[in-house]
A and B are shown apart, each in its own frame.
Chain A
Amino acid sequence: QVTLKESGPALVKPTQTLTLTCTFSGFSLTASGMRVSWIRQPPGKALEGLAHIDWDDNKFYSTSLRTRLTISKDTSKNQVVLTMTNMDPVDTATYYCARSRTLGGDWVAFDVWGQGTMVTVSS
């Protein structure tokens, strides 16, 4: 069974750095074609892709947030970590991690999601 779970602070102050951890099980991020992504959703609003990291350590960041994001992985712990600097109240959202993978030659995006973690940015 594939599971992902996000963890991190529920409340951060403006200008602080947010660090979120995605701990997963049931698959290996060393396996060819695997990817873990971070996606967020402000209250009542749509989903927004933030960053992803691939099995071969290829990384990608949202164009609009590129300068504030860093993604990394620790395959020995089955974890992916996202840091976001200079947090602002507009960054208040539920942050999800999700797996993507190749399956039978197809790219299957976000086929398993974590439960999400709500982060509020407020002084």
Chain B
Amino acid sequence: SYEVSQAPSVSVSPGQTANITCSGDALGDRATYWYQQKSGQSPVLVIYRHTKRPSGIPERFSGSSSGDTATLTISATQATDEADYYCQAWDSTNVVFGGGTKLTVL
């Protein structure tokens, strides 16, 4: 079965750029989605189909994908961006989530 993997944690200073990566075999060929989950809350979709932002998501959030890696980039990171971030892809009709990356804004 298809799997995607994420680093458990990423740290960033306020105002800097955070890059959160997701790896999987030929992941760039699959539509990739990113979700933000703050402590005690439900996940929120922040990027769909590699690069698209749902309405209401700040432009600071962007996505890219190539080869075996998809990347969520958060520019000018704010303290409110501290959360767990999950990537998600599809294996046929089976949904596949990464293990999540905890973003700490120091």
**Which residue numbers of A lie inside 8 Å of B, CB to CB?**
37, 39, 46-49, 52, 60, 62-63, 96, 98, 106-111, 113-116
Contacts and interface: CB of A to CB of B under 8 A. Distances in A.
B54 A108 contact: yes
A49 B1 contact: no
B45 A116 contact: no
A96 B45 contact: no
A62 B42 contact: no
Given A46-B100, A47-B43, A63-B1, A107 B31 contact: yes
Contacts, number: 57
A46 B8 CA distance: 11
Interface of B: 1, 31, 33, 35, 42-45, 48-49, 52, 54, 86, 88, 93-100
Given A96-B42, A116-B42, A110 B88 contact: yes
Contact of B33 (A46, A62, A110): A110
A109 B42 contact: no
Q: Which of A107, A110, A114 is packed against the most chain B CB atoms within 10 Å? A: A110
A114 B42 contact: yes
B52 A49 contact: no
B52 A110 contact: no
A107 B49 contact: yes
B97 A48 contact: yes
Contacts of B54: 108, 111
Given A47-B86, A98-B43, A116-B42, 6 more contacts: A46-B97, A96-B43, A106-B52, A108-B48, A109-B48, A113-B43
Contacts of B43: 47, 96, 98, 110, 113
Given A46-B97, A46-B98, A106 B48 contact: yes
A110 B87 CA distance: 12
Contacts of B42: 96, 113-116
A64 to B, nearest CB: 9
Nearest to A96: B42
Nearest to B32: A109
